[in-house]
Amino acid sequence: MTDTTRTAPPGAATRTTRDLTRAAVSGWLGTAMEFMDFQLYSLAAAIVFNKIFFPDVSPAIGLIAAMATYGVGYVARLAGAVYFGRMGDRIGRKRVLFLTILLMGASTTLIGALPTYATIGILAPILLVVLRLVQGFGAGAEIAGATVMLAEYAPVKRRGLVASLVSLGTNSGTLAASGLWAILLAVLSEEQLLSWGWRLPFLLSFGLMIFAVWLRRNLKESPVFEGRADVVDGVALSRTEVESVIAESAATEPAAKSSSAGSAGSSPVTPPASVLEAGIRQRKGKAFFLALGLRFGQAGNSGLIQTFLVGYIATNLHADRAVPTDAIVYGSLLGFVTVPLVGLLGDRFGRRPMYIALTLITMAFAFPMMLLITSGSTSALMLGMVLGLNVGVLGLFSLESVTMAELFGSRTRFTQLALSKEIGGILATAIGPVVAATLTAVTGSWWPIAAMLVVYSLITLVSAVLAPETRGRDLVRMEDAV
């Protein structure tokens, strides 16, 4: 009975519960791999890259340089979002997700094999940036594709819960990377870590890539993509071809009406022109900018809490480097409760009320969180990071996974979702740590970090207030929600 149970949304191609399970595992694993790769890099940038790739500068400048190499990956992510996003809307989600996992895995593994500055000089950081760009190019459409795939597979009433598995993937990847680094910091000496220990997490990611590639080979295409009115033989019609269908439908409509009495029960041989027209005539922009605003809070908070604070606590507060890493591990463990709980609450009460509540809490907690972190107490520091991570990052990410997919129409969902995620990532996650490093160096204080958390969350709050409620929206519809 399980294999014949329909799980696809109304109007979409039929999928079984087993298909949904495979899609869920694939989406979770691919996103876990993406965020494990990026978290491995971000922690390495905060802990060791300033010493092995930028050793001839002061610690503060080295941290800024390392954060900059972290940020360049987000530029490549934007290029990947454009390239693979259009491909995903044109030829399907499955094929794109297969390619992105290969690019991410290969580049991450090669980072672990790079020679250091002491071996080849300036060429070392140049090669690091090149691999970071390749990694980002593949990752630019990974999380967007996984989000789209899960949202389009999920039953309508449990869409928030199912789509939150993407967020659990990010959490799993963050936890795995942070756990690996925590082990390395605990068992290796400084000399061992800098000479060879930092390479191990990158090299170990190769095995995960092989498994993820195997899994995606057996995944069926998104039921919504196959059910779209503009998809013929697995490929979407171009705009010119859609215009032609609309024109032909308009020309034959009078004849169809005059003969309808004698042809009752017959079915159309072309896609319904009204559906196609709704998808291509709608003026784009509103949904995209709302999604960008919704992305800003989570992305900005993530860059500050999960990346910048790790280096700041070790460099500026002179705490043991294992303390912030352990805090991220504990926060990620708690996230296995936070993420699905927020997904369920979003299914129960709607996306907008949950967004408003979480952003208000994050804004109110920003300065108290930094007071806890800078109090000098290890337990207070860890409590602040754990709470900030779960409310301001993971909770918002759980909502983002489904809300952004629901905002966009099926014809351009992959492209628009990928672009809004990656542009938000560049403006917030990539630039944020560099700005925070600069402001804290100039002011000699922690308050710019709290202020940036408030600003990021405020942008998302305003976007949530302006956005429509998307819970339960038909994802087969080709036009955007606004």
Tens of pLDDT along 293-342?
999 999 999 989 988 898 889 888 888 878 888 898 899 899 999 999 99
Residue 70: pLDDT band with limits 50, 70, 90: low
Helix boundaries (H) for 307-393: 309-315, 322-349, 351-373, 378-389
Kindly list the structural domains of the chain, giving each domain's residue range(s) and its CATH number in brackets, ordered by start. Answer: 16-220+280-466 (1.20.1250.20)
What distance in Å separates the CA atoms of residue 54 and residue 122, rounded to the nearest whole number? 9
- The answer on pLDDT for 49 being more than 80 is no
Beta bridge partners of 231: 236
pLDDT for 3: 44
CB-based contact 47:35 (threshold 8 Å): no
Of the chain, the end-to-end C-alpha distance in Å amounts to 39
What distance in Å separates the CA atoms of residue 104 and residue 109, rounded to the nearest whole number? 9
Helix boundaries (H) for 92-122: 93-111, 117-120
Residue 256: its H or E element: helix 239-258
Percent of all residues in the chain with a pLDDT value above 70, rounded to a whole number: 88
- The answer on pLDDT for 451 being more than 90 is yes
Shortest CA distance to 171 belongs to which of 345, 401, 383?
A: 401
Residues contacting 317, CB < 8 A, separation 6+:
373, 374
- The answer on pLDDT for 267 being more than 50 is no
Q: Residue 423 is encoded by which pair of tokens?
A: 């542009």
Q: CA 305, 306, 309, 312: dihedral to nearest 10 degrees?
A: -160
The average confidence (pLDDT) of the chain is 84
Sign, CA dihedral 363-367-368-369, equals positive
For residue 106, with 0-12 CB atoms within 10 Å meaning exposed, 13-18 middle and 19 or more buried, which class applies?
middle
Give the tens place of pLDDT for each residue, 348-361: 999 999 999 999 99
Shortest CA distance to 21 belongs to which of 36, 37, 45, 5?
A: 5
CB-based contact 416:288 (threshold 8 Å): yes
User: Averaged over 276-289, what is the pLDDT?
Assistant: 81
